[in-house]
RNA sequence: GGACCCGUAGCUCAGCUGGAUAGAGCGUCGCCCUCCGAAGGCGAAGGCCGAAGGUUCGAAUCCUUUCGGGUCCGCCA
């Protein structure tokens, strides 16, 4: 594979640093903060001024003299306290673009050595519909899965269903109350929609009435004790619920290798608890069984992990601990990434600490990649007008509906519904993935499904226009030729495309899909400028047309790769909405 | 009470391993379709980066304090 543009420049810089007698650690180029002065800049000599005791401008001048003569650069100059400004030559840019285009599978993305990575995201609960909060885990989790995959890392995704515990008991006891005449172990004819009202009502009843809560606890105990009738009803509920959730996963293109849940690791719990007890790691406290996870050096208080309630029932942390045990035994991953609400940070810290204390972790790197909460305009958790939590399926349907309205005509040969889905879902995903993972955002349905400006459809649109140009060229018998880079818009386009490998590496390191979203939008913008400034099919010369067609093809490949990393697909065409045709 | 996250343009957000004149979208006001798809392009207006100290050649970025908002803190998941 060919080295990316930044890698080639970094290597040249490092060579010059060494030749000048400087350590090459800071010999790195970044995008110029002032594009009118340079394409790339290097700030690496300024920190060396102190350690070497030499004037930073003189050091920079030495580097500039070494590099300035090379064919890769048109100009290397020194500015301010010691900035190195690099102006790349058109030949070098063309060469880099050509190399990236010649590697369509990777487009310069560098493979990373890593063992198996498990991704834990989604986390739907049985009998609860997916709501807007699930959007983040699904969309971020799927994007991370693809980003790691693009680096050649093997991944396994598991949705970790919430299919156990008191919530199940509440539901079972509620059903028994409402259908008292049912034969034991049979289920009334329930649909997903029925479940969605049943559960909240059951939960409310339990909160309000201690007797109902006792019933729910008893039902939970029966289920966990292996009661066959409870088990059967439970498994049916689980199936109905999972069917509906699987449809939402499919709509969002979230892929799961495993659909395991809390229930799957229950068999491991008795032995695990016995083991922890025997080794004195689990101890009795106020009637419950706990694991102390605080360490003397802690700056913050670290409450103990609660392993079992006074009645012996297992809890959330117990299940997570057992899940970790199970994953190690079954898959022995190098890393497990939990894409779960940031509010559970303490819970994961406790689980990770307890697991380490118990020696359950081995060499696994445990990461909680938390995400911020989705809030309404008032800054509180998002609610619909009716005051209930907004369902994910409704949001997606809204976005798809708006996209459909937007299509004035159905492009021939294209499924209108499928197109609306591609565009609507792209809008939602792009909006979610644009904000930094750990910061929460204010959920605004209008904004989320808008198609103008910094949106998914904007980027898709750039791809579609490129496709249209390439198709026309083909019909005219023209095709891509050798790349030459001359016009400012061409330079900008090539520089932007060349960032893909750096952006992927960084997004992976930081587990931050928003870096990909930023990039893809910037590239689409660079293309839109190129598009308005540089005629392609109507280029003055054949060579120029061939070069620009090749730039179009490269741009589309990079855009589609970037969008794919976000989990966004690109339609072949979008409906024409020429404003001049609207009267 | 303790801990964590966040205060950046009218609004929604990037930028945070320190770098030159702080970015984008929306909204507002202009301009651009006889020309490859106007879901587009170009331009204007709009900022004491919550506040105050500190660290240094240099701070939106790091440290301390403070004000404002959010979140979490053993028998839910």
- Which among A255, A578, A566 has a CA at the least distance from the CA of A429? A566
Q: Which of residues 197-226 of A touch strand B (CB under 7 A)?
A: none
pLDDT given at position A203:
86
**What's the burial of A377, exposed, middle or buried (CB within 10 Å: 0-12/13-18/19+)?**
exposed
Residues A2, A105: contact at Cβ < 8 Å?
no
Rg of chain A over Cα atoms, rounded to whole angstroms, equals 29
CA of A528 to C1' of B31 (A): 18
For chain A, helix (H) and strand (E) counts, in that order, are 20, 13
Strand B closer than 7 A to residue A437 Cβ: no
Q: What is the rounded distance in angstroms from the CA atom of residue A80 to the CA atom of residue A70?
A: 23
Per-residue pLDDT of chain A (583 residues; tens, 9 = 90+): 578 999 999 999 999 999 999 999 999 999 998 888 899 999 999 988 878 888 899 999 999 999 999 999 999 999 988 999 999 999 999 999 999 999 999 999 999 999 999 999 999 998 888 888 899 999 999 999 999 999 999 999 999 999 988 889 999 999 988 888 888 777 888 888 888 888 888 888 888 888 999 899 889 888 888 889 889 999 999 999 999 899 999 999 999 999 999 999 999 999 999 999 999 999 999 899 999 998 876 766 788 999 998 888 888 999 999 999 999 999 999 999 999 999 899 999 999 999 999 999 999 999 999 998 877 666 666 666 555 677 888 889 989 999 988 876 665 667 888 999 999 999 999 999 998 888 777 777 788 888 999 999 999 999 999 999 999 999 999 999 999 999 999 999 999 999 999 999 999 999 999 999 999 999 999 999 999 999 999 998 999 999 999 999 999 999 999 999 999 999 998 876 654 343 3
How many Cα atoms occupy the beta-carbon half-sphere of A186 within 13 Å? 8
**What's the burial of A302, exposed, middle or buried (CB within 10 Å: 0-12/13-18/19+)?**
middle
Q: What is the rounded distance in angstroms from the CA atom of residue A385 to the CA atom of residue A398?
A: 14
Q: Phi first, then psi: give them for residue A165, nearest 5 degrees.
A: 95, -170
Residues A577, A440: contact at Cβ < 8 Å?
no
Nearest nucleotide by C1' position to the A379 CA atom: B70
pLDDT given at position A445:
77
Nearest nucleotide by C1' position to the A220 CA atom: B76
**What's the burial of A105, exposed, middle or buried (CB within 10 Å: 0-12/13-18/19+)?**
exposed
Residues A570, A563: contact at Cβ < 8 Å?
yes
CA of A45 to C1' of B56 (A): 16
Angle at A84 between CA A78 and CA A88, to 5 degrees: 110
Q: What is the rounded distance in angstroms from the CA atom of residue A484 to the CA atom of residue A481?
A: 9
Record the tokens describing residue A141, joined without a space.
Answer: 């989790």
- Which among A348, A355, A353, A354 has a CA at the least distance from the CA of A369? A348
Q: Which neighbouring-strand residues pair with A305?
A: A291
Strand B closer than 7 A to residue A159 Cβ: no
Give the Å distances, CA to CA, from A525 to A10, A47, A426, A546, A564: 26, 34, 17, 22, 18
The DSSP symbol for A341 reads: B
Record the tokens describing residue A455, joined without a space.
Answer: 């949106």
Length of chain A: 583
pLDDT given at position A379:
61
Angle at A443 between CA A439 and CA A447, to 5 degrees: 115
Q: Which of residues 482-501 of A touch strand B (CB under 7 A)?
A: none
CA of A582 to C1' of B33 (A): 12
* A73-79 vs A83-88, strand pairing mode: antiparallel
Nearest nucleotide by C1' position to the A37 CA atom: B20
Whether the complex's predicted ipTM surpasses the cut of 0.85: yes
- Which among A324, A262, A220, A231 has a CA at the least distance from the CA of A123? A262
Q: At what angle do helices A514-533 and A456-475 cross, to 10 degrees?
A: 40
pLDDT given at position A73:
97
**What's the burial of A530, exposed, middle or buried (CB within 10 Å: 0-12/13-18/19+)?**
buried
CA of A514 to C1' of B13 (A): 11
Q: Which neighbouring-strand residues pair with A338?
A: A120, A368
Map residue A371 onto helix, strand or coil: strand
Q: Which of residues 75-94 of A touch strand B (CB under 7 A)?
A: 79-83, 85
Residues A283, A289: contact at Cβ < 8 Å?
yes
pLDDT given at position A575:
76
How many Cα atoms occupy the beta-carbon half-sphere of A180 within 13 Å? 1
Q: What is the rounded distance in angstroms from the CA atom of residue A418 to the CA atom of residue A441?
A: 29
Question: End-to-end distance of chain A based on CA atoms, in angstroms?
Answer: 53
Q: Which of residues 511-570 of A touch strand B (CB under 7 A)?
A: 512, 514-515, 518, 521, 525, 528-529, 531-538
pLDDT given at position A412:
62
């Amino acid at each position: 594979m060919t080295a990316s543009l930044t890698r080639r420049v970094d290597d040249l810089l490092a060579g010059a640093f060494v030749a000048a007698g400087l350590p090459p650690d800071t010999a790195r180029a970044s995008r110029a903060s002032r594009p009118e002065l340079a394409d790339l800049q290097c700030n690496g000599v300024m920190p060396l001024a102190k350690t070497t005791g030499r004037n930073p401008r003189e050091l920079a001048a030495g580097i500039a003299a070494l590099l300035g003569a090379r064919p890769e650069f048109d100009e290397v100059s020194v500015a301010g306290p010691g900035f190195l400004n690099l102006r790349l030559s058109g030949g070098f840019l063309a060469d880099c673009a050509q190399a990236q285009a010649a590697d369509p599978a990777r487009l310069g993305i560098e493979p990373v050595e890593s063992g198996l990575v498990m991704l834990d995201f989604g986390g739907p609960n049985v009998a609860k519909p997916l709501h807007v909060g699930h959007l983040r885990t699904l969309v971020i989790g799927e994007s991370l899965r693809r980003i790691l995959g693009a680096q050649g890392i093997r991944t396994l995704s598991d949705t970790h269903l919430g299919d156990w515990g008191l919530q199940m008991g509440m539901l079972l006891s509620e059903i028994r109350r409402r259908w008292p005449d049912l034969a034991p172990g049979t289920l009334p004819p329930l649909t997903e929609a029925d479940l969605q009202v049943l559960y909240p009502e059951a939960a409310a009843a339990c909160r309000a009435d201690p007797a109902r809560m006792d019933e729910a606890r008893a039902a939970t105990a029966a289920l966990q004790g292996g009661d066959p009738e409870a088990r059967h009803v439970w498994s049916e509920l689980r199936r109905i619920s999972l069917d509906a959730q699987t449809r939402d996963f499919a709509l969002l293109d979230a892929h799961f290798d495993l659909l395991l849940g809390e229930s799957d690791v229950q068999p491991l719990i008795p032995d695990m608890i016995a083991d922890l007890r025997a080794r004195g790691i689990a101890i009795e406290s106020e009637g419950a069984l706990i694991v102390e996870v605080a360490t003397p050096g802690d700056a913050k208080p670290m409450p103990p992990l609660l392993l079992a309630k006074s009645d012996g029932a297992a809890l959330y942390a117990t299940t997570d601990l057992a899940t970790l045990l199970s994953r190690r035994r079954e898959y022995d991953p190098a890393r497990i990434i939990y894409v779960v609400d940031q509010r559970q940070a303490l819970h994961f810290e406790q689980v990770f600490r307890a697991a380490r204390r118990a020696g359950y972790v081995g060499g696994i790197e445990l990461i909680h990649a938390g995400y911020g909460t989705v809030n309404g305009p008032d800054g509180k958790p998002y609610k619909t007008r009716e005051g209930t939590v907004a369902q994910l399926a409704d949001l997606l349907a809204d976005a798809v509906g708006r996209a459909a309205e937007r299509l004035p005509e159905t492009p021939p040969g294209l499924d209108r519904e499928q197109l609306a889905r591609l565009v609507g879902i792209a809008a939602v995903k792009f909006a979610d993935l644009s904000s930094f993972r750990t910061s929460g955002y204010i959920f605004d349905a209008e904004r989320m499904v808008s198609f103008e400006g910094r949106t998914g459809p904007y980027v898709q649109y750039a791809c579609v226009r490129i496709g249209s140009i390439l198709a026309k060229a083909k019909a005219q018998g023209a095709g891509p030729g050798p790349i030459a880079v001359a016009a400012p818009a061409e330079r900008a386009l090539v520089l932007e495309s060349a960032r893909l490998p750096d952006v992927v590496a960084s997004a992976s390191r930081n587990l931050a899909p928003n870096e990909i979203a930023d990039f893809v939008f910037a590239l689409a913008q660079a293309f839109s400028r190129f598009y308005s400034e540089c005629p392609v099919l109507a280029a003055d010369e054949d060579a120029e047309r061939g070069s620009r067609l090749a730039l179009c093809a490269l741009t589309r490949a990079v855009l589609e790769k970037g969008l794919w990393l976000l989990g966004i697909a690109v339609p072949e065409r979008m409906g024409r909405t020429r404003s001049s045709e609207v009267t």
